[in-house]
Every structure is written in C-alpha cells, then in structure tokens.
Amino acid sequence: MVTIINKNMAHYDYLIVGSGLYGATFAYRAKRMGKKCLVIDKRSHLGGNVYCEQIAGINVHKYGAHIFHTSNRMVWNFVNSIVEFNRYTNSPIANYKGELYNLPFNMNTFNSLWGVKTPAEAQVKIDEQRAEAVATLGGRDPQNLEEQALCLVGKDMFQKFIKEYTEKQWGRRCNELPAFIIKRLPVRFVFDNNYFNDKYQGVPIGGYNKLVEGLLDGVECKAGIDFFHSKYKDWKEYADRLVYTGAIDEYFGYCLGKLDWRTVNFKIRIENIPNYQGNAVVNFGQEIYTCPNTVVSEEYSTEYKEGMEPYYPVNDDRNNALAEAYRQLADKEDCVIFGGRLGQYKYYDMAPVIEQVLALEIL
C-alpha cells in the first residue's frame, strides 16, 4: 500500500501510543536524537500506571503504590538525572487476621511466628515443616501450588502468608493452581525487612509525575486520545514509525482471541490522623509524620472485564501460547515497535521497562 502524505499535515518520525514509562522514555531518547515525536494516550492524563494525584496534600499513586528498584546503575543514574529520589525502603507488613508480621520472610518473621531467636533455630523449624509436607506426598512431585509451597516453606508460612494472598491474586484456590507458579520462596536468616534485594530503591521526590514530565519535556503530547478510535489509527499518514505500548491483542483486532488479565480495584479513603498505619506501604515514607492526614488505598485483586484497566498478564498455558502467537505477528509488522507490559503481554517492573528502552537502537 502506498501512503500519501499531506504536506500541510505535521509529520512525525515517531507516533508513540501510550505515555507510560516505556513510551515516555522512548520519547525522551528520540527527542534527544533530533526525532520529532507525538505521544498520545487514551487516559485523561500522561504517565500511564505511575501517574500520581494530589489528595489531601498527599501524592497518591493512583494506580497502586510504586517503588522504584534496580541494581542497574545506568538505569538508576538515568532516572536520577531527571528527578531526585528519596531513600524509601520497602519493608511491608503482613496482617494475618490481626497478627502483624514482617515481610519478606526473615528472622523477624520467624521470631514472631515461632519465638525462635537464632538462624539455626529457625532452620530447624522450617526443615521440620518441609519434611512433614514432603512425607505426605509419598515420593511424588508436588502437583499444584499448594503442595509446592508446603514443600518449600511448610504449613505455618503457607497458611499465614501464601494461601489467602495467592487465592485473592489469582481468583482460584491454591490447590487448583499449577505448581510451577512458585519455583522458589526466598527465606532470609537475618533480621532484615528490606523487601528488595536491589542495590538502589526509592520514590521520586515530588512523585512520579515529575519523572514523566521530565521525560516528556518538549515532546508534543495529547491525552484523551484512543489510538483505535482516532485518526491516528492510520498512523502512516502521520509518522514514519509507530511505538505501540497498548495491548498487543487489541492491535491485531483480537484476531487470534482475547488475552486474559488480572486487575486491581482501588478504594481510597482519607483518615484525619497522621501516620494511620505506622508503615508507609502507600509510599509516603518521608512524610507520614508531618502530614495531618493519611490516604489509605486498599487494593482488591479481581478478574479483568471489558472497560477495566488491564494490569497483570495471566501466566497460564492458554495465555502464554496466545501471547506468543501475537508476538510472532508483531515481529512481522514493519516499522512498529511493541513495547511495555501491554505491548509485550509480560509483567515488568519499572526499571526493566526503562532498561529496555535505553538499550534500543533508535533509527
């Protein structure tokens, strides 16, 4: 097909669909290479899932708490060249029926759980419970996630930290989920509540909008425009190349079938006391004592339905095979880059998304 370009119309080197970290980082790099870009996003704002909103004087992560973490110095230097990060350390607390435990599983957790005081005592307890689980299998391999988790960490940790959380996340019972979902359950025999093993972590001071604004500075952007329901679906009239970070199955008109997603509902409320929870799981570590309010954001994992935000790919056999088939179609598309978690149907943390874009050869 020959595309006729109207010379009066602005023509771009790149049309970028989606202003999340993939699209925004791409636009940043392309602009610095002298490329002309247009970024469009169907949401009413820019920034994708890292977008923040001011509520009661607090910077709330509208699509769920986001903590940046990486061991890649290049990625860390890159984001810090755009916005300064605080030293927030993610140390979540698990609340099991009113009992509080430190995560990830470490000596603090084991002490609260069993009263053990040394790594050797904790190891004995875990080994006992693992052996019990292995014995009940009578020599066969674990057949489902429940059996797998019991063999890895034993009944106490499974009951309190894994069972209900996993069932909520997946919307299915642990004994109906495949064993391969949990390959390892890391346990630490030190008193260390730092969730991530990465060298660097934090949250941008002033919120993620500052990061996105810095990335998109000087780039033409239009929010509230759905690629498929706008003139830009005929993108070749407007740009030489397309960067597409929307859902891969939607790009191909769902010709092979629809991919499944899990999503999250957020219920937000304001408590008129500072430091409501004692732990900044909503990412406001540096401010919890000084702000008179607390914004509590409760996340409820749920099945994705049309019109909701797709968040997590479903890694079962059907979806993995279907996504691979779409990726093969994507490989054949000329001048189109499929990027990000929707465009590749893969769960990515923020840093790997940025790392991918930094490694791209931009033509």
Residue 264, interface with ligand FAD (CB under 6 A)? yes
Residue 37, interface with ligand FAD (CB under 6 A)? no
Say whether 88 sits in a helix, a strand or coil: coil
Residue 340, interface with ligand FAD (CB under 6 A)? yes
Cα dihedral 264, 89, 280, 84, rounded to 10, equals: -90
Residue type, position 71, single letter: S
Among 11, 36, 42, 160, binds ligand FAD (CB under 6 A): 42
Residue 353, interface with ligand FAD (CB under 6 A)? yes
Determine contact, residues 208/353, Cβ cutoff 8 Å: no
Q: What's the min distance (Å) between Cβ of 353 and ligand FAD?
A: 5
CA 281 to chain centre: 15
Contact letters for ligand FAD, residues 210-229 (x by CB under 6 A): ----------------xxx-
Among 41, 146, 167, 249, binds ligand FAD (CB under 6 A): 41
Residue 337, interface with ligand FAD (CB under 6 A)? no
Determine contact, residues 329/266, Cβ cutoff 8 Å: no
Among 37, 67, 122, 162, binds ligand FAD (CB under 6 A): 67
Cα(211)–Cα(179) distance, rounded to whole angstroms?
A: 39
Query: Side by side, which strands form the sheet with 312-313?
Result: 294-303, 261-271, 312-313
Residue 23, interface with ligand FAD (CB under 6 A)? yes
Determine how β-strand 12-17 pairs with β-strand 37-41.
parallel
- Which listed range, 47-55, 104-112, 143-151, 166-174, lies at the site for ligand FAD (CB under 6 A)? 47-55
DSSP per residue, 262-279: EEEEEEEEEESSSSSSSS
Residue 17, interface with ligand FAD (CB under 6 A)? yes
- Which listed range, 123-131, 146-154, 185-193, 348-356, lies at the site for ligand FAD (CB under 6 A)? 348-356
Nearest to 92 by CA among 128, 67, 117, 70: 67
- The residues binding ligand FAD (CB under 6 A) are 17-23, 40-43, 48-50, 63-64, 66-68, 226-228, 245-246, 264, 311, 340-342, 348-351, 353
